[in-house]
Amino acid sequence: MGEVILTMKGIDKSFPGVHALDHVDLEVRRGEVHALMGENGAGKSTLMKVLTGIYTRDSGTIIYEGQDVTFHNPKEAQEAGIVIVHQELNMMNHLTVAQNIFIGREFMKGSLIDDQKMNEEARKLFNQLGIDINPAEKMGNLTVGKQQMCEIAKAISHEAKVIIFDEPSAALTESEIEELFKIIRDLRDKQLGIVYISHRMDEIKVITDRVTVMRDGGYVGTLITADCTKDDIINMMVGRVIYEDPKTHSMVAPDAPVVLKVEHLNAGKMVRDVSFELRKGEILGFSGLMGAGRTETARALFGADPKESGDIYVNGSKVEIHSPEDAVKCGIGYLSEDRKRYGIVVGKTVAENSTMASLKDFLKGIFIDRKKENEATNKYIDRLKTKTPSVDQLVVNLSGGNQQKVVIAKWLVKNCDILIFDEPTRGIDVGAKSEIYHLMNELAAEGKSIIMISSEMTEILRMSDRIVVMCEGRKTAEIDIAEATQEKIMHAATLR
């Protein structure tokens, strides 16, 4: 590691009802990958927004390349060489790769945009990163992993000296993560300072040099990664020890009734002849590699995407589900992997989001019974331990993990008996994960039935009573948890 390039000292930031940052420190050196960790709501994103000028700090200092600085917007930070690669990619799918990289900074030939020059410059960036992407390709045709590489190339094009990676591996496959790490190590070797925000503990040990931990908006401490254990980091993050052992046997009674039966479901090329059963009180895990068709199966079942053929039975009766409204009437709730697109309305309050799926239950004449709505919302704020100053807080102001809890609350208020949890802990810290795991087990014990789609093998083995494995749109295995191993699941996930 080289000299210190960035120091944030005593950063303080408050919003109405929330003390988001309480005298936080962060130091980044040239040629290091510095992890920034903490539970959802710990203040990591807020700290980065203060750094890049999205928020104005209330107090504290930022020293960058030896100078006391204040950036008033992200453009100023970019021009100084501080760039964020966001978890939720901000790409325009209808434009080419090169057009996305240089948007707002296009090369011109007279009064016309010089696409040839932009393609050439983009190709130079890709060569520098050692990746093979066609700059003239439409962005929407690339995989999420390739889009992530384009976002990194865009950061490099700003002559970045500090790059902040916000949950960069959340939607990537194992091979794409390896490619990402290769690029990050190369950037480190070129003496860039890198801030790496992630909840994946195994990644932190592999890719980072130091770890700074935040908790409840405050600075807890900084550790040298090689000298600490995962338990050391977890204890700093949550202030308590968390033990999550794999499930060794199914918790479902052998004679538990079948609440959902799907036969020969077909929907596009990603759902081909899928059949399975879900029992009362069961957590049925859906495993498979990226692109296996798990989410597509869930969306077809929920009526979010049209099915071509197949039969669906709820509690023994055949049902026709052509829309999410039909599914909800059948007692099925769906927690989407893309919560901001399908799960919540960020411009509305916690209460409005929590009662959205069951609004007619809160009507008094033509008006909403606010007292009843607030009582229901507060019940699940308490149960889910959602961090929000009140039911009237806008969801956009909550952390990712707390937004996820609001989506869960929406379906619990609706009292759905069948719940589809699609990547329920993606982008969520270890403490919030543990809370959601306990909640899912409680719901199953109460008789709710859960389909859980997860790309995390440890999560599948920890939570599932039975596991359905998919590959390229087809079910390739069904394994009881007592017989399940990582090897068996991976073998089935790679069958052709």
| Portion of the chain with pLDDT greater than 90, in percent | 59
Give me the number of domains the chain comprises.
2
Q: Quick one: 221 and 273 in the same domain?
A: no
Which of 180, 209, 238 terminates a domain? The answer is 238
Residues 231 and 315 in one domain: no
Q: What is the DSSP letter of 429?
A: -
pLDDT at residue 290 tops 80 = no
Domain contains 221:
yes
Q: Are residues 219 and 282 in the same domain?
A: no
**Contact between 358 and 413 (Cβ < 8 Å):** yes
User: Looking at the predicted structure, is the pLDDT value of residue 242 above 70?
Assistant: no
267 and 202 within one domain: no
Same structural domain, 172 and 84: yes
**Is pLDDT above 70 for 496?**
no
Whether 58 is covered by a domain: the verdict is yes
Residue 432 has a pLDDT of 75
What does the pLDDT look like over 43-83, one tens digit per residue? 898 999 999 999 999 999 999 999 999 999 999 999 999 99
Residue type, 183: I
Residue 131's pLDDT band, with cuts at 50, 70 and 90, is confident
Mean pLDDT of 140-152: 83
Residues whose CB is less than 8 angstroms from the CB of residue 439 and which lie 6 or more positions away in sequence, other chains included: 383, 384, 408
Please state the rounded mean pLDDT for residues 194-200. 88
Q: Which helix (H) or strand (E) holds 383?
A: helix 370-384
Q: What is the CATH number of the domain that holds 387?
A: 3.40.50.300
pLDDT at 40: 66
The Cα 437–Cα 415 span in angstroms is: 18
Question: Looking at the structure, do residues 114 and 262 belong to the same domain, yes or no?
Answer: no
In a domain, 250, yes or no: no
Examine the fold and report which residue of 210, 238, 266 is the final residue of a domain before the chain moves on: 238
**Position 455, amino acid:** S
Q: Collapsing DSSP states into helix, strand and coil, what is residue 172?
A: coil
CA-to-CA dists, residue 81 to 1, 68, 311, 313, 358, angstroms:
19, 15, 56, 57, 48
103 with 133, same domain? yes
**Same domain, yes or no, for 148 and 12?**
yes
From 190, 210, 238, the end of a domain falls on 238
Average pLDDT, the chain: 89
Residue where the block lists tokens 């990163």: 129
DSSP 454: -
Distance between CA atoms of 180 and 376, rounded to whole angstroms? 44
Residue 249 lies in a domain: no
Q: Would you say residue 339 has pLDDT above 80?
A: no
Torsion of the alpha carbons at 471, 411, 384 and 428, rounded to the nearest 10? 30
**347 shares its domain with 228:** no
Predicted confidence (pLDDT) at residue 308 exceeds the cutoff of 60: yes
403 near 344, Cβ under 8 Å?
Answer: yes
Structure tokens at 61: 């200092």
CA 284 from chain centre, in angstroms, equals 21
Is 479 among the domain residues? yes
Query: What letter represents residue 287's amino acid?
Result: S
Chain segment 314-338, per-residue pLDDT in tens: 999 999 999 999 999 999 999 887 7
How far, in Å, are 48, 137, 147, 365, 458 from residue 338 at the CA level?
Answer: 22, 25, 17, 34, 21
Based on the fold, state whether residues 223 and 279 are members of the same structural domain.
Answer: no
Q: Is residue 488 part of a domain?
A: yes
- Write out the two tokens for 258: 């079948």
- Give the number of residues written for the chain: 496
With respect to residue 247, please indicate whether it lies within any of the assigned structural domains: no
Query: Which pLDDT belongs to residue 166?
Result: 87
Task: Mark whether 332 and 186 lie in a shared domain.
Answer: no
Q: Are residues 487 and 338 in the same domain?
A: yes
More confident residue, 261 or 288: 261
Q: Is residue 245 part of a domain?
A: no
Domain extent, residue 106, equals 4-238
